[in-house]
Structure 1
């Protein structure tokens, strides 16, 4: 079955088509970023080897692109609600819609580029994790409800037996719903006492302060902090600027050459605030697909790339 047929026939999830306002995937990489993009890849690998050695692009296979390939165009999502406040069906639908709309801003750069096999992206909520079933009003559309499962820190979670992050070997025998109920990542709303619009994320999930949802996300406009955190699920790091702009690729303070003054993955003093993926970041997503798809063997050809930068001497200070 072709990717388009699969996306048309699948049910229970939203299909998000390619936006028409993007730089065409038939275009070549713009001249100003031809040398920047290989350096972005090298910096991602170098930083991960030092900062998170167990979760590099090479060693960890549950980044957003791994997930969409595993799901044949679908990302399965666990919604985690760490609050005692009741959630109406309407608000839950708004949460999922905001997540889908925001994620689309990253994924919409991929259709038509370098044999990317899907024409859109789908999302399926496979579970809700809450402290008590009574917190969920109305229909949950067939999603599993978890009230007794917790993560390693004792926080509400979907069944870890269904987590792809925990079962990269593909063994879902411990998942009540089997492989079809597996979850690729989670979206965790944390009822923190902090009144800030902040979050954190990696391949297996995104943490967002409940205050941010209630004061920014629920307005259903742009939500820059969620856009930023979802960028981390692809493996993009924070790009931090100390004003010197003279750091090597082998540094946590490196910025891509010819980067705009502001972009999504460059948080400011008060968190992320850029509402849309910049053109440079769109090309970063495309280039990541080109590299990762060959690293994983999703496509095979004679494409060659520059040798990786030797970062035996790494500047790890932020």
Structure 2
């Protein structure tokens, strides 16, 4: 992998609940309400994380509130992209400041982490803005679990294949030919971001390396988590519905933090694993037995808490660090930079480094016949059309290894 050092809601209810090791689908019928896709991204003894997509199938709304019920032993511990609260067994998710407006047919996603004493069962129904989304008919006996798939699950057939704009074809070919000639193991390497998502069947886990003496408040932690998810989603949205890509959404779970001293983290909940004073590369390191970079077979026999606590990538936030670096191991940027940009739409250096995780090249010593783009450091501050097609080109060349 390359390392980078430069700047870098008539309505229908269809609820599809995907749990780890089981898939539950609730049948659709005519109704008023919305569409909710509820995915259990990961589950372990004592907890789970989810990704929830809400689609508005009616008149536009400027604010939304989704309500559903949990069992008595389930308790929300944190949320992202929405304010998620719980009173007794009733859970409510209210829009964030930036995703309250939903046009007809528009969708938004949020997620949360929760504790549970057994195995989590997805909620049976949802209500949006006080209106129960009726019309769902659950098969006799309730939701039934199927045999876990042996290959990555797929969504509806994608709408498009490899059909880049004519004005980009030459430059895209130039880039791929350059990568073929300069990457030492382009086709043999097995830890690209693509490999991580496919091995997990549609999600990635992160651990944060807090390489700074500063303290981190609960609000800062939650803001960092939310920003990481938003930025990663920008790249994944490029792939949704394209050329056999099997996931409409890729959940991002933050499972741990690494620090020099526990007192630096100003929260007492157990929402993430915390690793203290494990120093590598002169920086706090998340447990190596839990890291995919160190265990590329996908087996984590020595990871505290088991494989559910593994991490695929690290978000390495370093005090005073200029520019960025990225690869199969994750991304590194300045802690001050990331916190300062945490509410921005495009954290462009971080976005650039995520591109490297998926194999995209740097362009310091040459450039294809095209204008500015994100992966050419300093020439763009957001993902451009050319960046999108470079990412899709990687999938075009690698998808056969996953059976697509």
Fold shared, TM-score > 0.5 on shorter chain: yes
* Aligned equivalents of 1:186, 1:15: Cα separation in 2: 24
Q: Which string of whole-angstrom CA distances, capped at 9 and with x for unpartnered residues, describes residues 28-64 of structure 1?
A: 2211223433332232232222xxxxxx332321211
Over 3 Å counting, the alpha-carbon distance change for 1:150 and 1:59 in structure 2 is farther
Quote the residue 2:214 is aligned against.
85
* Aligned equivalents of 2:257, 2:355: Cα separation in 1: 23
* Aligned equivalents of 1:16, 1:59: Cα separation in 2: 35
Q: Is the CA contact 1:78–1:183 (under 8 Å) kept in the aligned structure 2?
A: yes
Q: Which string of whole-angstrom CA distances, capped at 9 and with x for unpartnered residues, describes residues 134-168 of structure 1?
A: 211225552111003233x2420110011111111
Note if 1:10 corresponds to 2:40.
Answer: yes
For 1:24-39, list aligned pairs within 5 A: 26=160, 28-39=163-174
1:16 Cα deviation after fit: 7.4
Note if 1:165 corresponds to 2:284.
Answer: no
Quote the residue 1:101 is aligned against.
230
Residue of structure 2 aligned with 1:205, choices 309, 330, 339:
330
Quick one: higher RCO (CA 8 Å, sep 6+), 1 or 2? 1
For 1:67-82, list aligned pairs within 5 A: 67-82=196-211
Q: Which runs of 5+ in 2 are unaligned?
A: 1-15, 19-36, 42-48, 56-104, 107-157
Provide the secondary structure at the position in 2 that maps to 1:8.
strand
Provide the secondary structure at the position in 2 that maps to 1:218.
coil
Provide the secondary structure at the position in 2 that maps to 1:26.
coil
- Cα RMSD of the aligned pairs, angstroms, is 2.5
Number of aligned residue pairs: 263
* Aligned equivalents of 1:70, 1:95: Cα separation in 2: 25
Quote the residue 1:43 is aligned against.
178
Q: Which runs of 5+ in 1 are unaligned?
A: 50-55, 241-252, 301-318
Provide the secondary structure at the position in 1 that maps to 2:283.
coil
In our comparison, the structure showing a higher alpha carbon Rg is 2
Q: Is the CA contact 1:13–1:123 (under 8 Å) kept in the aligned structure 2?
A: no
1:213 Cα deviation after fit: 2.2
* Aligned equivalents of 2:54, 2:285: Cα separation in 1: 30
For 1:263-278, list aligned pairs within 5 A: 263-268=373-378, 274-278=380-384
Note if 1:146 corresponds to 2:283.
Answer: no
Q: Give the TM-score normalised by the residue count of structure 2.
A: 0.60
Provide the secondary structure at the position in 2 that maps to 1:206.
strand
Quote the residue 2:243 is aligned against.
114
* Aligned equivalents of 2:333, 2:264: Cα separation in 1: 19
The structure whose residues are more often helix, as a share, is: 1
Q: Give the TM-score normalised by the residue count of structure 1.
A: 0.75
